[in-house]
């Protein structure tokens, strides 16, 4: 995919900002943006999560896929707490079945995270002349987060059309969520087809040297690989 970065002399491809966490979904969304013929500006947010393992993965994935720029910003959402991902006093759920994972809003929900992330991505996009934001959100095999639903993205796109210079001048920033209606198996299949460096990605909520294999994120990821008959190249302490 590195060859996709080579542009014709005097021609610059259109740009997109991609919210890149370093996980399976965001890495695949990055590859989709490249497939769509866009220059990728990758944006990674450290928000006080339990570990920085995924930040290392995001850096490696951005480099491997050929992002023309990669910014890592600190957004201390842990100052507010109220999430198992930002407050060590709240336990991360483990060992849940797929049906339980999709029921209700779990304690791993970080209040307004995607609202904050998309606002920052919009600022980045507008400053660089990018007219799209790609996000690896999914509303099929997912953990019930309200900010990963189609109506949320439609509403936020409308906000950008009215609240940005680009929007009011008729160049609205679009939000692309290419994985939104795909199952985890479909995402894994797409990642394999686009040659995403899956061995560099990280999805586990708990961090560490190897993925736990028991948190909701690990369970959904492993489910996707299992359903397509592929082996996840990321090592696990325990794979269900």
pLDDT per position as a tens digit, 136-145: 999 887 678 8
Report which of residues 109 and 12 the model is more confident about. 109
Task: Read off the pLDDT band of 238 (50, 70, 90).
Answer: confident
CATH of domain 14-228: 3.40.50.620
Q: What is the pLDDT of residue 97?
A: 83
Kindly report the average pLDDT of the chain as a whole number.
92
Q: What is the mean pLDDT of residues 55-69?
A: 98
Q: What is the mean pLDDT of residues 193-205?
A: 98
φ and ψ at residue 150, rounded to 5 degrees: -55, -40
Q: What is the mean pLDDT of residues 50-72?
A: 96
* Torsion region of 129: left, alpha or beta (phi above 0 gives left; psi -120 to 50 gives alpha): left
Q: Is the pLDDT of residue 6 over 70?
A: no
Of 58-62, 100-104, 171-175, 181-185, which range is least confident? 100-104
**Rounded to an integer, what distance in angstroms lies between the CA atom of residue 23 and that of residue 18?**
13
**Domain chopping of the chain, boundaries:** 14-228
Q: What is the pLDDT of residue 239?
A: 63
Task: Read off the pLDDT band of 8 (50, 70, 90).
Answer: very low
Extended strands (E) in 20-173: 39-46, 69-74, 132-134
């Amino acid at each position: 995919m590195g060859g996709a970065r080579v542009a014709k002399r005097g021609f610059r491809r259109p740009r997109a900002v991609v919210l890149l966490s370093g996980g399976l979904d965001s890495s695949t969304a990055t590859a989709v943006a490249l497939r769509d013929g866009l220059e990728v500006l990758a944006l990674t947010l450290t928000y006080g999560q339990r570990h920085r393992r995924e930040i290392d993965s995001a850096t490696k994935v951005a480099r491997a896929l050929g992002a023309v720029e990669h910014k890592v910003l600190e957004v201390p959402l842990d100052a507010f707490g109220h999430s198992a991902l930002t407050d060590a006093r709240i336990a991360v759920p483990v060992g849940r079945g797929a049906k339980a994972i999709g029921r209700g809003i779990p304690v791993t929900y970080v209040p307004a995270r995607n609202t904050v992330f998309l606002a920052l991505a919009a600022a980045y996009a507008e400053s660089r002349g990018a007219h799209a934001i790609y996000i690896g959100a999914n509303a099929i095999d997912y953990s019930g987060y309200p900010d990963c639903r189609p109506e949320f993205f439609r509403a936020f796109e409308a906000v950008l059309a009215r609240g940005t210079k680009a929007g009011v001048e008729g160049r609205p920033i679009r939000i692309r969520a290419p994985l939104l209606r795909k199952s985890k198996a479909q995402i894994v299949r797409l990642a394999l087809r686009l040659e995403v460096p899956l061995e560099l990605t990280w999805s586990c909520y708990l961090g560490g040297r190897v993925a736990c294999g028991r948190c909701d994120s690990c369970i959904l990821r492993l489910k996707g690989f299992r359903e397509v008959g592929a082996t996840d190249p990321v090592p696990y302490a325990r794979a269900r």
